[in-house]
Amino acid sequence: MTRSSTTRRRFLAALGAAGLGGLTGCTGIGALSNDSDVPTATPRSPPSGPADTAATVRPAPAQAASGLSPDTWIYNEGFPGPQLRVPEGDVLEVELANGLPRETTVHWHGVPVANPMDGVPGVTQQPAGPGESFTYRFRAEPAGTYFFHSHVGLQLDRGLLAPLIVEESDPHVEYDREYTVVLDDYLDGAPQPLYEGTDSGGRGPGMGGGGPGMGGMMGDRRPPYAALLANGRPPNDPQRLDVREGQRVRVRFINASSATYFRVRLGGHPMTVTHADGRPVDPVAVDSFRFGAGERYDVVVDATNPGTWELLATALNGRESPARALLSYDGGTSAPVSPSATGRELSYGDLVARTPIDGLDGSPDRTFNLTLSAGQSGWLIDGQAYPDADPLQIKEGEHVRVTMRNRSPVVHPMHLHGHFFQVGNAVKDTVVVPGHMGTVTFDFLADNPGNWLFHCHNLYHLESGMARLIQYIE
């Protein structure tokens, strides 16, 4: 990897990040790709003053006693990691104390933090080495269901993920209790790239290369997952979500997988979707929804149908048994009833944000038309594989429009760091672009200066190059 060191120096100067030291070598997915001579804009500073909430996140290899593979890396000895919960508006300070044998970072997926807090190695910070620490600081807003994860290499698929809940002071839907359901695809070995090194035959990822990692759809190769998990539990040992008849329960679903497009269904009850990627929407009742890696949905369920009901999350692009939990009334032990295979499924068109993004009503100041496709050794945006890819340059205050056209047969859950975007009538930070020429357009307001990743949240697609830097220039 050859990158001009003057570019790096200029970048670090623009960050104002004294003491970061030199960035040496390529740090994988976050490698700096600013080859432009244009001066970049100064990022916002993180909030100053005392923190309202402090926490420590300790990534480390799983202990033998945990029952997890020794190749699994976890936060604070749990899998998924500890749920971080804060009231909206709090200044949150989180120390990352690295107990791994490798360098790491934490990315606050979906939270529009100040750029130096975004946790992307080589782009917003130098990663914390073994035994080192890094302190993140940001205001927990807006309220919503988020998660945090490592942004180094394939560490997300090693288990470095955990929920982050920013509590609403005034939710638009009332409920009596709540659960978080983290869905994940679990590997019992160290993750390996699927499209680099292993693909010496020169076949592109969309060419149906086959092999053991081949998923259900042509070209959608997946790692050899041991199981799909709900809150860290395999399907044969499901968690019980206890309810009492008459209660309304809120369930926060997080697709924290690395490569799984889930369809979620619940037996015996409609689910009323109340939030998409943490942002409130007009409630809409459905029987199922699908979501890609990085997406979140909150639903409320009225407990009016006593019994024991299966909650199933099926891989639409894989063959593993569905992840599973049980909705269980009053501690009953009746045999669980499966959801029906039919019913109304959520579509993006059903989502109407309660708070649209201000300043996007006119025509865009800048438009990017991007093609998503398969290349010889990885996944591409407009024919380029990050980090050897042109940054998408924008200016503060602009209304930016991005259109993505998917020339491949597989879905791509595209995620923008640092901003929410408007897609149809929804406000989200991750959106699935369907295969076979699926097209999605989103708009965002350039209100958070810095260098931000925009990428496919299928970790293996990201790792092979399906990313761009969005760069604020002066």
- Rule CB under 5 A: say whether 461 interacts with Cu ion: yes
Tokens of 195: 């499209």
Using the rule CB under 5 A, which residue among 458, 465, 469, 472 binds Cu ion? 458
Peptide bond into 80 cis (omega under 30): yes
- Rule CB under 6 A: say whether 428 interacts with ligand C2O: no
Q: Which does 412 bind (CB under 5 to 8 A by kind): ligand C2O, Cu ion, none?
A: Cu ion
- Rule CB under 6 A: say whether 109 interacts with ligand C2O: yes
Whole-angstrom distance, CA of residue 118 vs CA of residue 125:
8
Which is nearer to ligand C2O, 107 or 269 (by Cβ)? 107
Using the rule CB under 6 A, which residue among 417, 419, 428, 461 binds ligand C2O? 417
**Smallest distance, ligand C2O to C-beta of residue 242, A:** 30
**Smallest distance, ligand C2O to C-beta of residue 2, A:** 24
**Smallest distance, ligand C2O to C-beta of residue 31, A:** 14
Whole-angstrom distance, CA of residue 362 vs CA of residue 302:
40
Q: Which does 324 bind (CB under 5 to 8 A by kind): Cu ion, ligand C2O, none?
A: none
User: Which of 339, 344, 259 has the alpha carbon at shortest distance from 294?
Assistant: 259
Q: Which does 294 bind (CB under 5 to 8 A by kind): ligand C2O, Cu ion, none?
A: ligand C2O
Q: Which of residues 375-434 bind Cu ion (CB under 5 A)?
A: 412
- Rule CB under 6 A: say whether 151 interacts with ligand C2O: yes
Residues with Cβ within 8 Å of residue 322, at least 6 apart in sequence: 228, 235, 312, 313, 314, 315
**Smallest distance, ligand C2O to C-beta of residue 119, A:** 8
Which is nearer to ligand C2O, 109 or 221 (by Cβ)? 109
Q: How many residues does the chain have?
A: 474
Question: Cα 176–253–221 angle (5° rounding)?
Answer: 170
The residue with its CB nearest to ligand C2O is: 109
The contact mask relative to ligand C2O for 276-305 (x = CB under 6 A, - = no) is ------------------x-----------
- Rule CB under 5 A: say whether 455 interacts with Cu ion: no
**200-212 burial: b if 16+ Cβ within 10 Å, else e:** eeebbbbeebeee
**Smallest distance, ligand C2O to C-beta of residue 294, A:** 5
Which is nearer to ligand C2O, 329 or 379 (by Cβ)? 379
Q: How many residues bind ligand C2O (CB under 6 A)?
A: 10
Q: Which does 458 bind (CB under 5 to 8 A by kind): Cu ion, ligand C2O, none?
A: Cu ion
Peptide bond into 235 cis (omega under 30): no
- Rule CB under 5 A: say whether 290 interacts with Cu ion: no
Which is nearer to ligand C2O, 105 or 328 (by Cβ)? 105
**Smallest distance, Cu ion to C-beta of residue 374, A:** 10
**Smallest distance, ligand C2O to C-beta of residue 212, A:** 27
User: Which of 283, 287, 284, 252 has the alpha carbon at shortest distance from 268?
Assistant: 287
Q: Which does 461 bind (CB under 5 to 8 A by kind): Cu ion, ligand C2O, none?
A: Cu ion
Q: Which does 455 bind (CB under 5 to 8 A by kind): Cu ion, ligand C2O, none?
A: ligand C2O
Residues with Cβ within 8 Å of residue 114, at least 6 apart in sequence: 43, 44, 45, 46, 138, 448, 450
Using the rule CB under 6 A, which residue among 111, 380, 423, 453 binds ligand C2O? 453
**Smallest distance, Cu ion to C-beta of residue 44, A:** 29
- Choose the stretch contacting Cu ion; rule: CB under 5 A; options: 23-31, 58-66, 121-129, 449-457: 449-457
Q: Which does 456 bind (CB under 5 to 8 A by kind): Cu ion, ligand C2O, none?
A: Cu ion
Residues forming a β-bridge with 239 = 325
**Smallest distance, Cu ion to C-beta of residue 466, A:** 5
Which is nearer to ligand C2O, 258 or 377 (by Cβ)? 258
Using the rule CB under 6 A, which residue among 221, 279, 415, 419 binds ligand C2O? 415
CA atoms within 13 A on the CB side of 235: 16
- Rule CB under 6 A: say whether 250 interacts with ligand C2O: no
Whole-angstrom distance, CA of residue 427 vs CA of residue 357:
7
- Rule CB under 6 A: say whether 149 interacts with ligand C2O: yes
Binding region for Cu ion (CB under 5 A): 412, 456, 458, 461
Binding region for ligand C2O (CB under 6 A): 107, 109, 149, 151, 294, 415, 417, 453, 455, 457
